[in-house]
Structure formats: structure tokens, C-alpha cells
Structure 1
């Protein structure tokens, strides 16, 4: 497995990876509005716009194929973390998160976790903060991790 910054040539693969994982794990728990909202966020053009801004997008590549993606917004918020359905539970998410946290600009990193992903984030060291909420049809649990206690060690 190789973790690297996303390039424009990866846009289709990144979008497809996010959508496949979302469809398997999250879509069935949301309203039509939520599925539509996520589809817009995970579209190639949306990734391209965020990539040109202050969002860091990393991909996990296995045998030349994108199998996972993480997006760190403004160095402080995990906006996306998706692994291809057939590659889940193999350490890809942990490797992506550990790599992304090296780019953190603050000590406390947040995530608005889909309810189905809360156990995975808890395994990574995130703690629930507040009650689950909903925005544009997306249901999420606010979570955070303090980096000096994170999986990758102290921030430098």
C-alpha cells in the first residue's frame, strides 16, 4: 500500500471509491435528500474544487489502484474517509488517517462521522462530542481526537 496526495488523474477513482463505500455502508440509512447531498459532495468536480482550496486529499493505492481516500479540511477536520468495500478492515483507513494527521494545523481534529462509521473512528481514538445531528439529509455524530493522544504520536 502506498499513501500519496491525490492528483487530478485520480478524480474518477476517488469519486467511485467514495460512492461505492457510501452505497454499501451509509446510503440505506439516509433519506433521498441525504443520498443526493453526498452524491454532490463526492462528485469529481466537487473534489477538484476542494483540492484546489485548502483541503488535503490523500489516496491509498494498492497495485496501482485507488482503494481508499481521506480528505482533511483546513488542517482541522476529516471531511471524508472511505475505503473500497472489498478492502475494508485491512488497515487502509488507519494508514490514511495517520498520514493525514501529519498535516494537522491544530491539536484537536474533528469529524462528522456517519453513524455506521462511529465504531471505526472510536478504534482510531476519536471520542463522541455531543449528540448526533443532521444537515441536508446527512446524519452524523460529531467526534474529535486530541493529537497528542492520537494513533500517530505527538504533533510536531
Structure 2
């Protein structure tokens, strides 16, 4: 498995991966009400994020296979973290998160994420804690979370 900075030609694969998982957090499976969110995960939108100095995108590849992606916004907000179903439950989400922390702003006290309700347990394993109620807005549901900023080797919890 190789994790690297995303390139503009990765936008299509990143968009496809996020769209594949969107049903986990859309309030209406048709996407009704989530048009703003859905517009933000098109290949063109992802290309804009990759090109922006406010975002850091990393991707994971297994040979020629696209396995996952992570993005930080403003060096402190976990904006995207998605792993292809074929690579889930193998530690790749944690590896992507640890890699993202290495490109994060170094003056942080906390990281934030708006977690899919289904992913709260995963983020808790990464050290995040819920810091607000489940929120439903613009056709999606999320749970705000934060974690103390730590750097260096992964912190394993028992």
C-alpha cells in the first residue's frame, strides 16, 4: 500500500469513491435536499479542492488499485476520509488519518471532523470525541467531533 499526495488526475477516482459511500449519510437516498453536498463531491469540485492551498488530499493505492483518500481543510479539519469497500477493516483508514496528521498545521490544539453517524465509532478509535448533537442540514446527517492534536507515530489504544 502506498500513500501519496493527490494529483489533479485523481479527482475522478476520489469523487467516485465518495459517491459510492454517500448513501451512508444522505437523509434521502434520492439525494433530495442534499444538492449542495452532492455538488461538492463532483470530479470538478474535488479538482478545485486538490488545487486549493486550503486543502491537503492524500490517496492510498495498492498497485494500480485506488484504495482510499483523506483530506484536511485548513490543516485542522478532517474534510474527507473514505476507504474503498475492498480495503475496509484492514487499518487503511487509520493509516490515511496518521498520514494526514503529518501534513496538518503544527500549531493545533484540536482536530475536528463532521462524522457520518455510521462512522462515529471509527473516529472514537482515532481519539475523537463527540462535541455536539447529531445534526441534519442540507440533506445530510453528521455528528461533530474533535480530537486533541497529536503528531508522530500512531497512538494505539487498548
- Provide TM-score, normalisation by structure 1: 0.87
2:125 counterpart of 1:115: no
Q: Which residue of 2 aligns with 1:78?
A: 78
Q: How many correspondences in the alignment?
A: 150
Q: Which residue of 1 aligns with 2:96?
A: 96
Correspondences of 1:6-155 after superposition (within 5 Å):
6-23=6-23, 25-27=24-26, 30-31=27-28, 32-33=31-32, 35-53=34-52, 54-105=54-105, 106-148=108-150, 152=154
User: Which consecutive unaligned segments of at least 5 residues does structure 2 have?
Assistant: none
Matches of 2:112 and 2:138, distance apart in 1: 19
Deviations 1:6-64 (A, max 9, x none): 111211111111111223x334xx12335533322211110111112110011011112
Matches of 1:121 and 1:151, distance apart in 2: 17
Matches of 2:79 and 2:2, distance apart in 1: 21
Secondary structure of the corresponding residue to residue 37 of structure 1: helix
User: Which consecutive unaligned segments of at least 5 residues does structure 1 have?
Assistant: none
Q: Which residue of 1 aligns with 2:3?
A: 3
**Does structure 2 retain, via aligned residues, the 8 Å contact 1:118–1:141?**
yes
**Does structure 1 retain, via aligned residues, the 8 Å contact 2:25–2:141?**
no
Matches of 1:145 and 1:98, distance apart in 2: 13
Structure with greater helix share of residues: 1
**Does structure 1 retain, via aligned residues, the 8 Å contact 2:56–2:73?**
yes
| Moved segments of 4+, more than 2 Å | 31-39, 148-153
Matches of 1:90 and 1:124, distance apart in 2: 14
